[in-house]
Amino acid sequence: MTRPANSVQAGTWSLDQIDFVSVDTALSRDDEFLFVTLASASFVEIMAQTYSDNLIRHYQGNTDVTDWLDLHWQREEVQHGRALKTYVQTVWPEFDWETAHRGFAGEYGLLCSAEQLEASRALELIARCVIETGTSTFYRALRNYVREPVLRELLGLISADETAHYNHFRRFFGICNAVEHFGLTAVAATIWRRLREIRGEDTYIAFRHVWAVRHPHQTFREADWKDYLRQARRFAKKYYPFPMAAKMLLRPVPMRRSVRHLVQWSLTGLAYVMVR
């Protein structure tokens, strides 16, 4: 029997607690946007083993950070990928997930280098907060979108995990920045830089490999990617929690609370305008 999402705390659930046998495939099967989104997300999440190694090396000597990355964050991210993979294979069994992922991993793995990290340990933790903000709000939006109960449970658990990850990275930033002393300008610049990469190469590469295996007799066109982005924009307009995202992005920024609230309100309003 499927457990309610709030019966399991973030970081404590396991794959065998998700009742994939009870998936109502009819509620997801015909949703091509959902298929592509879940398959692409499964590819990126399951690669955590690759890019987390770079993070662990980056924080070598800080055992609080490296132990948590190794024992918790990496394991939970990979579990997200495996859970999404299992759901995709349950609802769309004809899709050759392994072949598509092998192509993605071969291409994306070349981009997972230490050069992608911020030179400063503190600022890299801010970058991680931006990424976790994006993932936690994305999975919450997707949960609001889907109708299938097992998937809603799974997405709720993943979103809660990602929010917990954000809180860890934010706490580690506070500790590191007590030593490095970065102010408003440097923190805001890092947030802006990472926000510009939110539709980065990982999603694009994943989409291409999902699409190629899904349509083996067709040639991929950039127009196919642009069509997907238009669908994603319509999805975000209706389901994305912009206020939550703005609040999470601004929490680590060193500024007065009154100013933060004003910027948060302005940022939320701007986001709504941009997706129209």
DSSP string of the chain?
-PPPGGGS-TTT--GGGS-GGG--GGGTTT-HHHHHHHHHHHHHHHTHHHHHHHHHHHTTT-HHHHHHIIIIIHHHHHHHHHHHHHHHHHH-TTS-HHHHHHHHHHHHGGG--GGGS-SSHHHHHHHHHHHHHHHHHHHHHHHHH---HHHHHHHHHHHHHHHHHHHHHHHHHHHHHHHH---HHHHHHHHHHHHHTTT-HHHHHHHHHHHHHHSTTS---HHHHHHHHHHHHHHHHHH--HHHHHHHHHTTS-S-HHHHHHHHHHHHHHHHHHT-
Helix axes 32-46, 222-239, angle to 10 degrees: 100
**Sequence-ordered list of residues with C-beta below 8 angstroms from that of 120, at least 6 positions apart, any chain:** 180, 182
Residue 11, Ramachandran bin (φ over 0: left; ψ between -120 and 50: alpha; else beta): left
The span from the CA of 250 to the CA of 112, in Å, is 27
Residue by residue, pLDDT tens for the chain (276 residues) are 344 444 555 558 999 999 999 999 999 999 999 999 999 999 999 988 787 888 999 999 999 999 999 999 999 999 999 999 999 999 999 999 999 999 999 998 887 777 788 999 999 999 999 999 999 999 999 999 999 999 999 999 999 999 999 999 999 999 999 999 999 999 999 998 888 876 567 899 999 999 999 999 999 999 999 999 999 999 999 999 999 999 999 999 888 777 777 776 776 666 665 555
**Residue 232 falls inside a structural domain:** yes
Contact 47, 105 (CB under 8 A): yes
pLDDT at 2: 41
Q: How many domains does the chain have?
A: 1
| Residue 208 placed within a domain | yes
Q: What's the predicted TM-score (pTM) here?
A: 0.91
**Spatial distance between the Cα atoms of 185 and 105, rounded to a whole number of angstroms:** 36
Residue 250 lies in a domain: no
The confidence score (pLDDT) of residue 199 equals: 58
- Whether 143 is covered by a domain: the verdict is yes
The count of other CB atoms within 10 Å of the CB of residue 244 is 16
Is residue 6 assigned to a domain?
A: no
Q: Look at residue 4 and tell me if it is in a domain.
A: no
Q: What is the dihedral of CA 120, 123, 129, 132, to 10 degrees?
A: -40
pLDDT of residue 114: 74
Range of the domain at 167: 17-239
Burial class (CB in 10 A: 0-12, 13-18, 19+), 12: exposed
Domain contains 253: no
CA atoms within 13 A of residue 246's CA, in its CB half-sphere = 17
Q: Is position 117 within any domain?
A: yes
